[in-house]
Amino acid sequence: MTTQAKPEEASPAGSGGSAPFLSVRDLSVRFSTEDGVVRAVDNLSFDVAPGTTLGIVGESGSGKSVTNLAVLGLHNPERTEISGSIKLDGRELVGASNRELEQLRGKTMSMIFQDPLTALSPFHTIGKQIGETYRKHTGASKKEARDRAIEMLTKVGIPQPTTRVDDYPHQFSGGMRQRAMIAMSLVCDPKLVIADEPTTALDVTVQAQILDLLKDLQQEMGTAIILITHDLGVVARTAQNIMVMYAGRAIERGTVREVLKTPQHPYTWGLLSSMPSLTGDVNVPLTPVRGTPPSLINLPTGCPFNPRCDFREQVIGGGCTSERPALSPETGHAAACHLKAAQRQDIFIDQIKPRLG
Amino acid sequence: MSSRNMRLAAAILVAGALTVTTACSSGHSNSDSASASKSPVAATAISVGTAADSKGPAVAEPGAKKGGTVNMIDRDDFSHLDPAQVYMNYNSEVSLLFTRQLTGYKYSADGSSQKLVGDLATDTGTTTDGGKTWKFTLKDGVKWQDGTPITSGDVKYSIERTYASFIKSGPTYIQSWISGDKYRDAYPGPMGGQELGAIATPDDKTVVITFADVHPDANFTLAMTGYGIVPKAHDTKEEYDKKPFSSGPYQIVEHVTDKSLDLERNPNWDPATDPIRNAYPDKWHMEFGVQAQQSTERFMADNGPDKTAFSFHNQVHTTYIDQVKADEKLKPRTLQGLTPYVDYYYINNTRIKDQKVREALIRAFPHQQTRQLQGGTSYGDYATSYMSPTVLGYEANDLYDVLKKPEGDPEAAKKLLTEANAVGQTIVYAYNNTPVQQKVTEAIRDALEKAGFKFVPKPLDSKTYYDQTGLVNNEYDLYWGGWGADWPTGYTSIQPVWDGRTIADGASNYAHFNDPEINTAIDAAAKIADPIAQGKAWAAIDKQLQQKAASIPDVYQRSISLYGSGLGGVKFDSLFGLQFPLNIYVK
Amino acid sequence: MLRFLVRRSLGALVILVIVSMVTYALFFAIPADPARLYCGKTCSPENLALIKHAMGFDQSTPVQYWHWLSGIFTGQIIDGKNCAAPCFGYSFAKQEMVGGILLDRFPTTLSLTIGSAIIFLIFGIGTGMLAAHKQGKAVDKIASSASLLASSMQIYVAGPLALWALVYSTDLMKQPAYVPFTEDPIGSITGMLVPWIVLSLIWTANYTRMTRSSMVEQLSEDYVRTARAKGMSGSSVFLRYAWRGAMGTIVTVFGIDLGVLLGGAIITETTFSLHGLGELAIHSFRDSDLSLLVGVTMVAATLIVAFNIVVDAAYALIDPRIRLA
């Protein structure tokens, strides 16, 4: 075991309703591989309040999935080193025993995975898979668990739930499977749901239905949701807050409105430019972020985005290749970039916004 | 070894183990195992015994005591136990324990020679007309296992039932000597109530057999297990083959095909009537399905019940031969000896008519190399005759200096070829396509090419080797084959193989050798009444065959086997090439 | 499921008929003449004809085949002996009814196969799961290298070694022999112990490696991660999820291996001097014993076909995605 618990005073019990339900501070996750140490997450901090949704956006390998697996404690403890703090309802999860985590997983926090076909067991019925979670955490009988499963299937909008409860995942359509998956993760009324690309594997009409379903359930139960996606459109539709991740760090953070309307970081600009817009000019070509994501074993010096950045010449003193910019300001809409706030505003208004339409 | 049974042997070789050799005679000799492999082969000491020799009990084994159980482990179950069906050597060997014939073979006191004696009969039979009519008188006190006396009627019935249609293997000499080649047409067997007139039983003790022609060695023929006795009252026909009724010292308790055979004492056997059989152990337990490698390992380990075990047929596995020979501790329980089988390389006389070319082949042949490839000295001794040393009358005649130049003499061969104006003559050599024979073929190629022949090898499939070489118009010049006598006189050693009048597809005259002089000599020898004189006549024919370069005698086959340390009196039976049970005792 | 069983059983019958026909055809393609094998040393043409007639070889191959096939349902008279249905013919080399011989030998092979299968399944799967559970740790490394060593062993090497070490030279264990359970329950186990140990040692190694690799593969599956995300305990994830997934592979391979074990009985039984179907196969081939050859082939083919049906059915029970029809 190389997981380190960072010694920290326990938060006072019942420290308040307004406090964030999930609070992550200075989280670092490192894997040791044959090629070297992968710094998958580096000094990450964020909060999620009850009843709100945080969208975490970034390319593959930006650390967004790793962060959430660390929250659930699903990383491989043999090869992963975690430091920092993850507090769930005031309870420290870093260094918590497997047993403690088992009690929390599925009950207080749960996860919705990307591809429900592979994420659901092909060997057990939908009802069993939903009911099992319920029985584990509530000690319900088989009968009760089955009734609960039917109730949950009804809730997520599965027609004829009393018969479908005995079906196997392969007998469901893609969208239905994802509904079942959601039913499974919500069966114990968790306070935190982490949805990892929940709609990526689905077609567009079904995507919207699933997102609406999540939103409805959140309103009904007051769940905190972390929505991991690379699709800013999904975030815009569902989340209140956004965190953009790049190379294991948050590089921009703010409310949906702040980040989407006045993005501050050149990488966010890139993400927005690569996204088609219904209202935009069809003649303006989409411009994806050039280059490829950096290796997490061998990060570029300075700002990890600098090799792909079009604006690093404009930084006075050229700090981009020497110094890693911190996320600032401490609270509110913040970005990690050496460009001065005024510069960013000018560039966005003059060069980026026209492209977005 | 006979052609038919060689076929079986070949099939077994395919299955990948030791050959089951067929045997052909009864009798036993204790061969001198210590130095036999090096010293020249000693002439056999077989003779015809007197009425006094035929009296029981058998010559006792020094130090032997009664009691205990002897175990026997072998690869195969006995294929036949019904005497009339028995031809194979190991079937005959086990039959000694429970089947008696009119005649049999008895060891001399020192174990170095054996005599034909009366077994059930008071002597070896009498004939007043040179061997056409034979008269036997049964001993007093000979009984079946149920205590009923053995009568002349039993003997008559036993021979009659060899005609029955369910008897599909076994010897046919007596039948055809009485009734001709199509003997089944002449007499259908006793099942329908018909009797065979040629066998008369003037009283309960006397049997008189009349043949169509003279057969002076018929008393040897009647020593074959094939003419052992079967009781009419207990003849279960086909079933009899599994569990025969005993006339010998032991009776069958249980016989589970291919698994085991258990014997116990027959209380009604009287040792005073039996000049041949000792019966030391109380019981015999025989187990089958043990491969040669396993039995060798078990005998070497010598543990538990294997201490009191022997094996009729399983020899030392080839991978252990050198180790066994070198091990001083194993020496006291290692048996070595000559089997009755002689290996030949047959020359096809219909294709190679020039005697000088045949002589060149004999001179050129690399006996040393081919023997080395097949197991060296353990494989056999270089042969200098067609008859085996185990046959009455055997004489060695090294006419072609095989003992001096076992590696072959290419110069002498080339000289002969040049004289015959046949340098470069093609020799088509057919061989059994096995890994060992492929190597042997290369050795022969080397030698023959050195001598000036052109060599063409022709691989044949193991299963059909004998069918193909047995064809009269086969297109091969040279091929391996073997032969063993049915009984230890020259008749079955020489006549089936070298009588030119027997040439036919599938017959035993593989060399297609047909010489009127030899044919006449065979007829004459077969009619000589005196065994010694007859033996001399066969030896003379043997020598003549060599002078005429009929084929290439290669080796007299040897055998090497082990047994457990808890047994005494285990001897080698050179007439069958197997371990001999009748002197075995538990120490 | 019922429809599946009926359909597959009918298919199996067709396969068996084809197997028997091919066996007949191949037998007569070999030029060796079995009648002459039985004929003995002085084989007269009359004797040969007699034997050929008794064996039925004087009839054409299709007629012989028809007699054999119909004999299974109606019985037949062979060489004056009554062979009641189901009649599988008469072995002239063994002079017994083939059905009786097969019945006598089958339990030995069954005991050999099933006994060692039970042992190697228990130990192979157990060790494999342990290794998968302790991935990368000492237990895993020891199990993996030991199984690599053991699986590279061959029965004809390991068998004689074990016999030498346990039976011949030390007398620690009994000479291998089959005893029916009903006759001697303890003897039926001790008699087969050495072959079971040797066979299962070799096969355990295979199953250790297979179980480990499929468990490792299953443990990295998404649905196993889901199970953990639901808060399922380690053991329940391991057994209810990963093992359930790995079972399919193991059952499939086991179905094939039963056939291999059966085929391997030829070597195994020879090595241990056991009297089972493998030994019969050798004898029937050596003696060109057609009825026995066909009988042994049919028993083996029937078993293999039956194993396949059972495995397919079991696989469908394990994995609901497989539809039986």
- One-letter amino acid at C49 equals A
Please give the span between the terminal C-alpha atoms of chain B, in angstroms, as a whole number. Answer: 36
Report CB contact under 8 Å: B257, C43.
no
Question: Per-residue pLDDT tens for A139-162?
Answer: 899 999 999 999 999 988 889 999
The two tokens of residue B114 are 């054996």
Distance of CA B408 to the CA centre of its chain: 29
Sequence-distant (≥ 6) Cβ neighbours of residue C213 within 8 angstroms: none
Contacts of C234 in chain A (CB under 8 A): 98
* CB nearest to A105's CB, from C229, C241, C245: C229
Give partners of B (≥3 CB pairs < 8 A). Answer: C
Distance from CA of A246 to the nearest CA of C (A): 25
Interfacial C residues in 171-210 facing A (CB < 8 Å)? none
Q: Does C321 sit within 8 Å of A168, measured CB to CB?
A: yes
First to last CA, chain A: 52
The contacts of residue B300 (CB under 8 Å, 6+ apart) are: B320, B324, B327, B330, B562, C168
**Tokens of residue B300, six digits:** 């070497």
Supply the DSSP symbol for B55. -
- The answer to whether residue A135 neighbours chain C at the CB level (below 8 Å) is no
Q: How many other CB atoms sit within 10 Å of the CB of residue A79?
A: 13
* Chains contacting chain A through 3 or more C-beta pairs under 8 A: C
Interchain CB distance below 8 Å, B22 and C270:
no
Q: Which chain B residues are within 8 Å of C39, Cβ to Cβ?
A: 4, 168-169
Q: Are strands A109-112 and A192-196 parallel, antiparallel or unpaired?
A: parallel
Q: What is the rounded end-to-end Cα distance, in angstroms, of chain C?
A: 7
Residue A280 CA to residue B576 CA, distance in Å, equals: 107
Answer whether C279 sits within 8 Å of B486, measured CB to CB: no
How far apart, in whole angstroms, are the C-alpha atoms of residue B246 and residue C43? 28
What is the rounded CA–CA span in Å between residue A146 and residue A123? 17
| Bond before A198 cis per omega within 30 degrees | no
Instruction: Kindly report the number of other CB atoms within 10 A of residue B166's CB atom.
Output: 20
Q: Do C37 and B184 touch (CB under 8 A)?
A: no
In this predicted structure, what is the pLDDT of residue B1? 37
The pLDDT of residue A311 is 87
The model's confidence at residue C325, banded by pLDDT at 50, 70 and 90, is low
Contact C95 B165 (CB under 8 A): no
| C220 to C210, C245, C246: CA distances (angstroms) | 16, 11, 12
Backbone angles phi, psi at A44, to 5 degrees: -100, 140
Residues 501-530 of B with CB under 8 A from C: 506
Please give, rounded to a whole number of angstroms, the shortest distance from the CA of A139 to a CA of chain C. Answer: 13
- Interchain contact C321–A (C-beta under 8 A): yes
A184 touches chain C (CB under 8 A): yes
CA distances from A93 to A102, C18, C237 (A): 11, 66, 21
pTM: 0.79
C48 touches chain B (CB under 8 A): no
- Whether residue B301 and residue C274 make contact (CB cut-off 8 A), yes or no, is no
Question: What is the number of residues in chain A?
Answer: 357
State how beta strands B114-118 and B46-48 pair. parallel
Q: For residues B379 and B323, is the Cβ–Cβ distance under 8 A?
A: no
pLDDT in tens, A157-209: 889 999 999 999 999 988 889 889 989 988 998 999 999 888 877 778 878 88
Dist CA C227 CA C241 (whole Å): 8
C140 contacts on A by Cβ (under 8 Å): none
* Residue of A98, A121, A172, A226 to mutate, testing the C interface (most C Cβ within 10 Å of its Cβ): A121
Q: In terms of Cα–Cα distance, which of C96, C65, C93, C100 is closest to C282?
A: C93
Pick among C28, C42, C105 to test the B interface (most B CBs inside 10 A) = C42
C174 CB within 8 Å of a chain B CB = no
For residue C127, how far is the Cα from the chain centroid? 24
Spell out which residues of chain C touch residue B291, defining contact as CB-CB under 8 Å: 270-271, 273
B383/B367 Cα distance (integer angstroms): 9
Nearest CA in chain C to B1: C41
Residues contacting residue A97 through CB under 8 Å, at least 6 positions apart: none
Is the N-terminal amide bond of C86 cis, ω within 30° of 0?
A: yes
Task: Among C223, C244, C323, pick the best mutation site for testing chain A contact (most A Cβ within 10 A).
Answer: C223
Chain A hits for C241, Cβ within 8 Å: 121, 123
* Neighboring chain B residues of C292 at a CB cutoff of 8 Å: none
> C95 and B238 in contact by Cβ < 8 A?
yes
Secondary structure of residue B339 in the 3-state scheme: strand
- In order along its 587 residues, chain B shows pLDDT tens digits of 333 333 333 333 222 222 333 333 333 333 333 333 333 344 456 788 889 999 989 999 999 999 999 999 998 899 899 999 998 888 999 999 999 999 999 877 666 678 899 999 999 999 999 899 999 999 999 999 999 999 999 999 999 999 998 888 888 899 989 998 888 889 999 988 899 999 999 999 999 999 999 999 899 999 999 999 999 999 998 889 999 999 999 999 999 988 999 999 999 999 999 999 999 999 999 999 898 889 999 999 999 899 999 999 999 988 898 899 999 999 999 998 888 899 999 999 999 999 999 999 999 999 999 999 888 888 899 999 999 988 888 888 899 999 999 999 999 999 999 999 999 999 999 998 888 889 999 999 999 999 999 999 999 887 678 778 888 889 999 999 888 888 888 888 899 899 998 888 777 889 999 999 999 999 999 999 888 899 999 999 999 999 999 999 999 999 999 999 999 999 988 778 899 999 999 99
C31 pLDDT band (50/70/90 cuts)? low
Q: What is the distance of C-alpha A212 from the center of its chain?
A: 17
Question: At residue B106, what are phi and psi to the nearest 5 degrees?
Answer: -120, 135
Cross-chain Cβ contact B171/C41 below 8 Å: yes
Which of C41, C44, C53, C275 to mutate: most B Cβ within 10 Å? C41
> Are chains C and A in touch, 3+ Cβ pairs below 8 Å?
yes
How open is the CA angle B561-B566-B567, to the nearest 5 degrees?
A: 60
Neighbours of chain C (3+ CB pairs under 8 A): A, B
Q: Which 3-62 residues of chain B touch chain C by CB within 8 A?
A: 3-5, 7-8, 11-12, 14-15, 22, 24
Phi and psi angles of residue C211, each rounded to the nearest 5 degrees, phi first: -60, -45
To the nearest whole Å, the CA of B482 is away from the closest chain C CA by 13
- Of B226, B225, B219, B217, the closest CA to residue B494 belongs to B217
Q: What angle do CA B338, B340, B345 make, to 5 degrees?
A: 100
**Radius of gyration in angstroms for the set of CA atoms belonging to chain C, rounded to a whole number:** 24
On whether any CB of chain C is under 8 Å from the CB of B184, the answer is yes
Query: How many angstroms separate the CA atoms of A187 and A195, rounded?
Result: 15
Tokens of C65: 């085949």
The 10s digit of each residue's pLDDT in C233-252 is 888 889 889 998 899 889 98
| Backbone φ, ψ for residue A186 (5° rounding) | -100, 5
- What distance in Å separates residue A149's CA from the closest CA in chain C? 14
Show the CA angle centred on residue B366, arms to residues B362 and B369, nearest 5°: 160
Between chains, do A170 and C321 touch, taking CB under 8 Å as contact?
Answer: yes
Burial class (CB in 10 A: 0-12, 13-18, 19+), B42: middle
Hunting for tokens 């079955």 — which residue is that? B492
**Is the pLDDT confidence value at A90 over 50?**
yes
Question: Phi-psi bin for B421: left (phi > 0), alpha (psi -120 to 50), beta?
Answer: left
* Residues B168 and C36 sit within 8 Å (Cβ to Cβ): no
The confidence score (pLDDT) of residue B267 equals 95
Determine the pLDDT at residue C40: 63
Chain B nearest-CA residue for C100: B257
Q: Where are the alpha helices (DSSP H) in B124-263?
A: 152-160, 173-179, 183-186, 218-221
Question: Is residue C121 within 8 angstroms of chain A, CB to CB?
Answer: no
A116: left (phi > 0), else alpha (psi -120 to 50), else beta?
alpha
The answer to whether B338 touches B31, Cβ cutoff 8 Å, is yes
Contact flag A136-C231 (C-beta cutoff 8 Å): yes
